[in-house]
Amino acid sequence: MGFFSTILEKLGFGKEAQAATAADTATAPAESAAAPAAQPVTVVDVVAQLEQRAAANPQKLNWKTSIVDLLKLLDIDSSLAARKELATELGCPANLMADSAQMNMWLHKAVLARVAANGGNVPADLLD
């Protein structure tokens, strides 16, 4: 499992889809199993989850601007080595990898954009 997959898992992506697929398979008649059914995309309320985690966390973490804080809220390794691994996985340009501040800004936007692409409700102002 890749680093980004861990982020999606911590946010609850796939759990509802897996449960729905299992329920559909268990209750579907045999003849409908041959025809593929359209599966609705499950939207994960990322903002509510992260705000709830931030409120419960004793540290003042700003997940909206900091990749380190975002990873901490998800209880994922936020070390420089871990962030470099994630940046590499997501295709961070080499020139940004040499400057940790630039890499962190790129990584924060890239993670939120990928979360949104996977069905997360990320506000547009965080994706700019």
The secondary structure of 37-61 as a DSSP string is PPPPPPPB-HHHHHHHHHHH-SS--
Average pLDDT, integer, range 88-113: 96
Which pLDDT score, from 0 to 100, does residue 18 have?
Answer: 42
Nearest 5°: phi and psi at 123? -60, 145
- The pTM of this model reads 0.76
Domain boundaries, the chain: 3-127
The secondary structure of 84-128 as a DSSP string is HHHHHHHT--HHHHTSHHHHHHHHHHHHHHHHHHTTB---HHHH-
Instruction: Mark 4-29 as b/e (b = at least 16 C-beta within 10 Å).
Output: bebbbeebebbeeeeeeeeeeeeeee
Contact yes or no for 87/94 (Cβ under 8 A): no
Which pLDDT score, from 0 to 100, does residue 13 have?
Answer: 87
Task: Give residue-wise pLDDT tens across range 27-85.
Answer: 444 444 444 455 555 677 899 999 999 999 999 999 999 999 999 999 999 999 999 99
